[in-house]
Amino acid sequence: MMPGKPHGVTRRRMVVETAGAVSGLALWPGTLPGRPPGEPGREPGRLRQSVSRWPFGEIPLPEFCRAVRDLGMEAIDLLGSDEWPVVADCGLVCSMGYPTDRRDFIASGFNRVEHHPMLLAELEVTIPLAAGAGVPNVIAMFGNREGLSDEEGIANCIAGLNRIKPLAEAEGVTICVELLNSKVDHPDYQGHRTAFGVAVVEAVDSPRVKLLYDIYHMQIMEGDVIRTIRDNTDSIAHYHTGGVPGRHELDETQELNYTAIAAAIADTGFGGFLAHEFEPTRDPLRSLAEAVVVCTV
């Protein structure tokens, strides 16, 4: 959820170089990085893949939409409502919408009752807009702990989400509350363990209030990703990827086997989106193309 900075060559140069390289590939179906021409098995796979906008933010959105579409992906994650029509015009879906652009969006979550009026007002506006635009999910946060016990934080989240779930159910839009790590990226974030999020979601007991399980964040906090996914699949509506450590490419430099993770998710019958949310250190669109291959199972 936090924008990063380019590494090595400038992002502008990366975009220019990559645009030519990617446009020269028959990306989907066709030749993908790491797959020789003519190799079988280039079907779209069992998972619907998306990509978060912010790590690729210096690529103009219309250009990025075309590249994403050429990669055979269906959607772009984490867009404001003003950006949804741009994505739709390119034949894509916004797979996760923002209800606001507040700078304290992560820290000010449902775990504190004093935030509920603001959060509910934002969602009351955004959920009908999302339904009308065909946006299936809207993101929400648990918030920073600030001294709260888990028991109190869970109870507060349940109370707040119970107030908004009737609207989400009526409009057919899922509120996805994100799990984040408190060890590296988001100190004091309370929803930093799967068990915390599952306790909230199970108590709210709505098909329209679920978890955004960020694999990068939960690997840092817990590990045991595949078992956790299998055990809690009913509580999860959306996934984010990212290499560990560093939140970079899904390649040999990181510790997770994303092909195995993607297969485990697909084996649960998951029908939502797996969205790539890594900060590329090389040509951004080529790194994205490679991630699509890794997670095509």
- Dump pLDDT digits (tens) for 86-97: 999 999 999 999
* 170 within 8 A of 161, measured Cβ to Cβ: no
Which domains, and CATH codes, for the chain? 47-294 (3.20.20.150)
What distance in Å separates the CA atoms of residue 164 and residue 161, rounded to the nearest whole number?
5
Residue 1 has pLDDT above 90, yes or no: no
What distance in Å separates the CA atoms of residue 124 and residue 193, rounded to the nearest whole number?
27
* 282 within 8 A of 249, measured Cβ to Cβ: yes
What distance in Å separates the CA atoms of residue 53 and residue 59, rounded to the nearest whole number?
9
More confident residue, 37 or 143: 143
Beta bridge partners of 239: 213, 274
Residue 18 has pLDDT above 50, yes or no: no
Q: What predicted TM-score, i.e. pTM, was given to this entire model?
A: 0.88
Q: Please compute the mean of the pLDDT values over residues 46-67 and round it to a whole number.
A: 98
The pLDDT, as a whole number, for residue 38 is 34
pLDDT band with cut points at 50, 70 and 90 for residue 43:
low
| Angle, alpha carbons 61-19-297 (nearest 5°) | 85
Residue located via tokens 């079907």: 43
More confident residue, 133 or 28: 133
- Dump pLDDT digits (tens) for 135-175: 999 999 999 999 999 999 999 999 999 999 999 999 999 99
